[in-house]
Structure 1
Amino acid sequence: MKKTHILLSVACLGLSLLVQPAFAQSSNKPGKDIDKKSLPKPEMTPGTATPSPQTEEKKPEKKQPQMKPAPETNKPESNKPETNKPEPKKPEMKEKEEDHHPDGEHHHDKDNHPGHGNGHGHGQAKAKTHGPPAWAPAHGYRRRFVYFPKYETYYDNEKKVYVEKDPKNPKVWKEEENVPEKLKNVDLKKEVKVEVENEVQKVNEIHEEIKKKYPVNYQPAAPKMN
């Protein structure tokens, strides 16, 4: 409403300025009166008044700053570790294997296992041919010969053979890879006499006596030098 009143007042002021010079010119001429009613009336419609130098200048419109888009907060969080993953299955623990020696026996105490130093692997079954038998002395206490006095038989740990008198010819000593017949049904652990330390020399002396008394086809292996 205020803007409409201002425009109307400005229009009226402009009309008065235009009418005054025309009225002054007509008043100087004698005998002519100007009828104000005959003057054309300007159409007074709001918003159509002629502009004047006194009109207010339009202020430039202020540009509203554009709002920056808000950062997206609903993005999927890809860096967070997934907590709903199933846990990896733990490897099932195998049942404890049975004791290799359940009765506390050494595996060399059984007939199907080898003794020390015959080239067989640990726990590997021994072929029943020749080699250190179950009663053979352990590695740390091994000597050259194992003697069975009752049966007059030796076991040579170097050559891996038995040495005994030939049953057909008692004057001859012979080598046998297999267990002699007279020792097969004997508990050799009770009969064995392990020659250790100073007794080794005694065994060698016995063999020297045997060589003198009997023709010998048995040649003991040379002792190994440590």
Structure 2
Amino acid sequence: MKIISGSWKTVLFLAAVTIPGCVAVVEDRPRREVVVVDSDRHGPPPWAPAHGWRRKHETFHYYPVVQVYYFPANRTYYWLEAGQWQVGVRLPSRYVIQEHKMVAVDLDDEPHKHHHKIKTQYPPDYFERGKGKGRGRS
């Protein structure tokens, strides 16, 4: 005779034994463990397209003319000075930001790691391209 553990199983078994013609089938399923991983990272995985949380919190403003990054989530500027990246809440006065000449780029928390790629994609004359006469115009 198999011993069934658990109070509801015992009641069901006793009912099946005492009632003539009643058969009880009790399935013992293995218990599944649930693992919860606590992470400081919010939002989707890094490889996913930026929508929602990451779009709001990991988007930098890049100003190609002066090659400066601005991170609105914590109001911080990143700029290159004498070969070293500087970080601050204010830019030195020699940098003049033109708000309308900004490109939004989705980066991690260290834009200097991607600067060569960003600089190639958005050179300092990025907003001046195509301002001349086009083909077929006199």
TM-score (norm 1): 0.23
Structure with the higher strand share, 1 or 2? 2
The structure with the larger Rg is 1
TM-score (norm 2): 0.34
Structure with the higher helix share, 1 or 2? 1
Q: Which of the pair has the greater relative contact order for Cα pairs under 8 Å at 6+ separation?
A: 2
